Structure 1
Amino acid sequence: MISIPVSFLLAALFLGLLLSVVFWRGLPVIARLCFALLLALLVLETVFVGLRFAFGIFSFLPLQRVLPVWIAPLAFLSFLSLTQALERLRKSFLFHGVIASVAAMLVLFPQEARVLPDVVIALSFTAYAVLLARHWLRGPDELSQIPVQLTGRWHRIEAVVLATMIATLIVDGGIAVLFAHSEERAAAWLVSLATLGLITTVAAVLMWVNLGAKGGLRAAARPALNGGNEKIVQKAHGVLVEQELFRDTGLTATRLARRVGVPDRELSRAINAGKGQSVSQFVNHLRVEEAARLLTTTDAPATQVMEKAGFLTRSNFYREFQKRYGMPPGDYRKKMQAAD
């Protein structure tokens, strides 16, 4: 049967992960907050499970049942925060927060047969496992809010989290069946085995995350120390062009700096020294060049060209184009067609 030291050991490992993530500066602030909250809930959940199965303390049973419906969406939102900027995350946080709140009310709803909580938790984990799987299948490049050198590591961590969610679904299903047949002792043993497996997994991830945090910080500092301004500018240009990042209308200097692997100020200083431009001017220069190419090689209207090139507003597009080519986009297209 499960013992309280084993449960507390797992809680301690989750706490170690929590502290590692909080102090990992390579992650955006919003991502650190999401992962910290997720791990804090996991710490509580493991403690409550231990108290229930080791000491027969059922005082925290309502909390133990309601926490999983928050854990699943938080796992998904944590990795989503590595993909999108905070401005785009607000609607996702609101939507999934409402879903989790409704699920929590269903779990806590008074009833004689405690079947509904198991069904709600199973549906929650299934739905968010599917969402996380879809997110993972997009590849490491989807994790655009962190430095490039960290995307592979966090993509693999996402795979571990996904596998853990699927395993949790299977184990919880087995526990529910055992309880339905009054096999409490067998259920306790299954919880023990699952806990031991989770301890091994979390310990491995904890070591991996700590090594990645140190390596990520070193890698992030390397371009600034060894490469100088020219290498930073070249890398920024390569990231923008090869990954077509300039097309993203929500691109920020902070996000570009993370992709390059240098601090915001270092990127801004390097571009200013090497090109005499701000980061936004540097990006807009590529956007204008792409807009000129599209105007010359396609019949797409100016508004469509503007969107494909990465401009958010018509006024900004026309202003930057006029500055670069000395004429509006329509006149430029006519001039190039006449030349042909």
Structure 2
Amino acid sequence: MISIPVSFLLAAVFLSLGIAALNWRSLPSVARGLFVWLFGLLTLEAALVGARFAFGVVELLTVQRVLPVWIAPSVYLAFVSLTVSGERTRQLVVLNFGAAAIVTVAMHLPVPVAGYVDGLIGASYAVYALALARLWCLGPDVFCQAPTNKSGLLRNLLSFSILIMLATLLIDAFVAYLFAQQSEVAAALAISLASLFFLVLAVGAAFGVLGARFGQSRAKVEESVGNDAQRAEIVDSARKVLVDQEFFRDPSLTLTRLARRVGVPDRDLSRAVNAVEGVNVSQFVNLVRLAEAERLLVTTDEPVGRIQERAGFLTRSNFYREFQKAYGEAPGAYRKNAQSSL
């Protein structure tokens, strides 16, 4: 049956994502640890599902049933840790894992209601799916603790996570119904197809992380930072920090670090840049980097790879994509045409 290899293959993909998260050094250590914890739980859950349907192992069924109420808050905490300080993250960990512990105890209470446990699991996924959706609505600049050039990728991963949680909610409800109808063969088939669906999404997420292909999103301005002059002043200050202090050269630059150097709250900087420039902070920083790269291409004979590094771009693919989008040509072709016209 397809569910046998797919569940274990899914566990292998989650394990590889956990290893990738462990080595994602540009993320804060707390966030990195939470992502590793999350993928560890997902690996264990997928392996237990495979063991149950491949080998009929039911001794660990209790663990398999409990894990989802820990996975849902773990997904939320992994992403929210990139939006708040380390101290606030620790407070949220205690709060959310405390709630998960209470739900775990509640699952073992002798409540004579059909579907009671499935209802608790479904409620957990629904609550955290809404929490993640709210986080997504805040825009890419919400990931203020992550490097600015990672905001698009993180938002795409957040979208993946919301989709997976909603799909899990629906699939679990359907599988619970099939088991209630004693249609175990149909339930196994549903789990098989669900595992295949999750495998496709997980592989897509893996390629997104390992390939580091960053999407770009436009931040939403929710309220005024002040008048137009104040916004323009904040943006000018940010540009001076980036250019005069060569802050843009740091590929691990974060919104929080830039805002702190400018002397304004993260949200004020994000809203000012969006209002004045019509882009998010990640795009704003990239524009400064691209301007420097363009200058170096025209005025120096440095290799393109060296210019990429000096301009603050972490990967060659991202640099080439952003440069061609801004100037209509690859860096090498742009240099050749610019120098031939001098």
| TM-score category, normalised to shorter length | 0.5 to 0.7
Which of structure 1's runs of 4+ aligned residues deviate more than 6 A? Answer: 233-239, 241-245
Rounded Cα–Cα distance in structure 1 between residues aligned with 2:113 and 2:139: 43
Q: Which amino acid aligns with 2:92?
A: S
Rounded Cα–Cα distance in structure 2 between residues aligned with 1:78 and 1:197: 22
1:212 equivalent in alignment to 2:212? yes
Q: How does 1:1-340 map to 2 (within 5 A)?
A: 1-110=1-110, 115-212=115-212, 230-232=245-247, 240=258, 246-247=264-265
Rounded Cα–Cα distance in structure 1 between residues aligned with 2:141 and 2:150: 10
Structure 1 residue 56, shift from structure 2 partner: 1.5
How many residues were matched structurally? 242
Q: Secondary structure at the match of 2:15?
A: helix
Over the aligned positions, Cα root-mean-square deviation in angstroms equals 3.2
**Unaligned runs of at least 5 residues, structure 2:** 215-241, 270-280, 287-342
Rounded Cα–Cα distance in structure 2 between residues aligned with 1:208 and 1:170: 25
Rounded Cα–Cα distance in structure 1 between residues aligned with 2:112 and 2:254: 63
Q: Residues 244 and 79 of structure 1: is their aligned pair in 2 closer, same or farther, counting only changes over 3 Å? A: farther
Identical pairs, percent = 38
**TM-score (norm. length: structure 1):** 0.65
Structure 1 residue 107, shift from structure 2 partner: 1.7
Structure 1 residue 95, shift from structure 2 partner: 1.1
Q: Residues 181 and 25 of structure 1: is their aligned pair in 2 closer, same or farther, counting only changes over 3 Å? A: same
Larger radius of gyration, structure 1 or 2?
A: 1
Rounded Cα–Cα distance in structure 2 between residues aligned with 1:237 and 1:132: 21
- The answer (yes or no) to whether the contact 1:38–1:75 under 8 Å persists in 2 is yes
Structure 1 residue 182, shift from structure 2 partner: 1.0
Q: Residues 193 and 32 of structure 1: is their aligned pair in 2 closer, same or farther, counting only changes over 3 Å? A: same
Rounded Cα–Cα distance in structure 2 between residues aligned with 1:245 and 1:8: 50
| Counterpart residue number, 1:273 | none
Structure 1 residue 114, shift from structure 2 partner: 6.1
Query: What's the CA shift string for 1:60-106, capped at 9, x where partnerless?
Result: 00000100000000100100001011112222111111110011111
Q: Residues 189 and 237 of structure 1: is their aligned pair in 2 closer, same or farther, counting only changes over 3 Å? A: closer
Structure 1 residue 51, shift from structure 2 partner: 1.2
Q: Secondary structure at the match of 2:84?
A: coil
- The answer (yes or no) to whether the contact 2:3–2:188 under 8 Å persists in 1 is no
Q: Residues 52 and 112 of structure 1: is their aligned pair in 2 closer, same or farther, counting only changes over 3 Å? A: farther
Structure 1 residue 16, shift from structure 2 partner: 0.4
Q: Residues 10 and 231 of structure 1: is their aligned pair in 2 closer, same or farther, counting only changes over 3 Å? A: same
**TM-score (norm. length: structure 2):** 0.64
Structure 1 residue 23, shift from structure 2 partner: 0.0
**Unaligned runs of at least 5 residues, structure 1:** 215-226, 262-340
